[in-house]
Amino acid sequence: MAVKKKPGEFFDDLEAMSPQAREKYHDEKLVQAIAHAYRHAPAVKELFEKTGISPAHIRSVKDMEKLPITRKTDLIERQKAHPPYGGFSTMAPEEVDRIFLSPGPVYEPIQHEGIKWFAKTFWAAGFRKGDIVVNTFTYHLSPAGILFHEGIRDCGATAVPTGTGNTDIQVQTTHHLKATGFVGTPSFLMTVLKRAEEMGYDVSKDLCLKRAWFTGEMLAPSVRKTLENDYKIDTYQAYAVTECGGALAYECREKSGMHLMDEYLIEIADPETGKQLGPGEIGEIVVTPLHNRNWGLVRFGTGDLSSYTTEPCPCGRTAHRLTGILGRAGDAVKVRGMFVVARQAEQVCLSFAPVARFQIAVTRQGQRDGITLKIELKHALSGKEKQKLSDELSQKFQNICRIKPDRIDCVAEGSISEEQPKIVDERTWE
Ligand SMILES: [Zn+2]
């Protein structure tokens, strides 16, 4: 694909690497990161010893399957047993620049010097020198506020550390300073804008907000539409994980999935077996920092479910894209070897106008898992219309969820209540 690159469009050359160059890059950085972590982080050495392999067994990304996934609970337990860092820090204590707390608690030592790459998520959202950005993430305890602050600065933009809450002051500050950018959660931006209107401001005229960068919360398509169409604020999402010290994937102007950051090895793996999954398959996001040499996390399981696409992106960035966060690992049901996630099924079902509600029943018939998709219609349809809907729905379900429903039942209005689970596992195992 020809890269339509404008000068300064990309933050660095990594964003436009060829697939071969990326593979080589990841393999090389992985070998170095593992060697470093093994040498300096006792927890990593122990992990290898327990697994019965040595760093020499990790020559490529594929080899990571040999190692188990480390979960947040493991991190918390290890830190309790070996305070404060659980043997994951590779730094001498006096080298630590700052210590963050993530819920758990998890203590994470940081040296800012190596995390400039963080800025590329803000760069992709269009933040540049001359922008004034209110950063509404918290500045204490959690890494979010200060890390994002530095990312904004590394793009050349000016950061206003407003932190969380204080809605009236947020409105006033955004107005007085003619802030052009917002960093925070979508719901907090909506709160700020609504409050601004209550205070008598016309958001499009009296505020200068042009773009917003979000993480930590899903951006609902309806909220994105309101922000972009009604308030003329361009919106971008990123996927960040506090225990990994930052943003792992980010949207570009195409807003069709989040490009993976090359400073991390990001696998989509089966949460049960740890095996790597291919494009379009849903699994857990598993992360190994490649550049952050201070923190020896290896195959950290985020608990978030996603899949990735290798389709070329018209923006010219070549990294694969996460297709969105589909839920938590515990919320998925494995059917015929594929994870079915309620949120993804919902996207498919509710994209058909006549469908009011849906429910998936997973059954076991002999040696095979069965899927029945129940749909409740908003109004009655003729037999022919029902058949057409069911054919199209089945096809789309298969395309998106990668598994074909065995049957689709149209059920009477009111048969599926809002409180019922979207996926019911009725299988019995004998
Ligand atoms: Zn792109």
What's the confidence (pLDDT) of residue 328?
Answer: 79
Instruction: Check whether 179 has a pLDDT greater than 80.
Output: yes
Nearest-angstrom CA–CA distance, 209 and 232: 8
pLDDT of residue 425: 86
Taking the centre of ligand 1 as the mean of its atom positions, its distance from the CA of residue 313, in whole angstroms, is 5
Residue 120 above 90 pLDDT?
yes
pLDDT value for 2:
45
Q: What is the mean pLDDT of residues 29-53?
A: 97
Distance of CA 1 from the midpoint of ligand 1 (Å): 13
Q: Tell me the two tokens of residue 83.
A: 């305070």
Distance 252 CA to ligand 1 centre (A): 5
Average pLDDT over residues 171-186: 97
Classify 307 as helix, strand or coil. coil
Residue 406 CA to ligand 1 centre (angstroms): 36
Q: How far is it between the farthest Cα atoms of the chain?
A: 74
Q: What is residue 104's predicted lDDT score, i.e. its pLDDT?
A: 76
* 361 close to 371: Cβ distance less than 8 angstroms: yes
Mean pLDDT for the stretch of residues 145-172: 95
How far is it, in rounded angstroms, from Cα 40 to Cα 158? 37
N-terminal to C-terminal alpha carbon distance within the chain: 52
Predicted confidence at residue 403, as pLDDT, reads 87
Burial class (CB in 10 A: 0-12, 13-18, 19+), 205: exposed
At residue 402 the predicted structure's pLDDT band, cuts being 50, 70 and 90, is: confident
Distance CA 44, CA 124 (A): 34
Closest CA to 138 of 165, 98, 115, 159: 165
Phi, psi at 364, each rounded to 5°: -125, 115
Sequence-separated (6 or more) residues with CB below 8 Å from residue 49 = none
Higher pLDDT, 202 or 242: 202
**Centroid of ligand 1 to alpha carbon of 254 (angstroms):** 6
C-alpha of residue 257 to centroid of ligand 1, in Å: 8
- 420 Cα: distance to centroid of ligand 1 (angstroms): 37
Cα(275) to centroid of ligand 1, in Å? 27
In the reported structure, the alpha carbon of residue 15 is separated from the centroid of ligand 1 by a whole-number distance in angstroms of 9
Look at residue 5 and tell me whether its pLDDT is greater than 60: no
* Contact between 163 and 139 (Cβ < 8 Å): yes
**Centre of ligand 1 from the C-alpha of residue 347, in Å:** 22
Averaged pLDDT, 277-302: 93
Which runs of consecutive H residues, i.e. helices, occur in 41-117? Answer: 42-51, 72-81
Banded pLDDT at 400 (limits 50, 70, 90): confident
- Residues near ligand 1 ion, CB 5 Å cutoff: 252, 254, 313, 315, 317
Question: Across all residues in the chain, what is the average pLDDT?
Answer: 92
| Per-residue pLDDT at 3 exceeds 50 | no
Q: Is the pLDDT of residue 167 over 80?
A: yes
For residue 315, the CA-to-ligand 1 centroid distance in Å is 4
Contact 121, 144 (CB under 8 A): no
CA of 317 to the centre of ligand 1 (A): 5
Q: Is the pLDDT of residue 252 over 60?
A: yes
Distance 296 CA to ligand 1 centre (A): 30
Q: How confident is the model over 337-356, as pLDDT tens digits?
A: 778 888 889 889 999 999 99
pLDDT of 1: 44
Q: Give the CA-trace dihedral at 292, 297, 298, 299, to 10 degrees.
A: -110
pLDDT at 428: 78
**Residue 137: closest CA among 150, 146, 124:** 146
Tokens of 244: 């990994």
The conformation of residue 354, written as its DSSP 8-state character, comes to: T
Characterize the bridge pairing of strands 132-135 and 158-160: parallel
User: Model pTM?
Assistant: 0.85
Pick the closest to residue 364 from 309, 406, 416, 398 (CA basis).
406
Provide, rounded to the nearest whole percent, the portion of the chain with pLDDT above 90: 70
Q: How close is the Cα of 182 to the center of ligand 1, in Å?
A: 21
Handedness of CA 216, 220, 222, 228 (dihedral sign): positive
Alpha-carbon distance values, 277 to 47, 266, 285, 322, 399 (Å): 23, 11, 10, 13, 17
The mean pLDDT of 178-203, rounded to a whole number, is 96
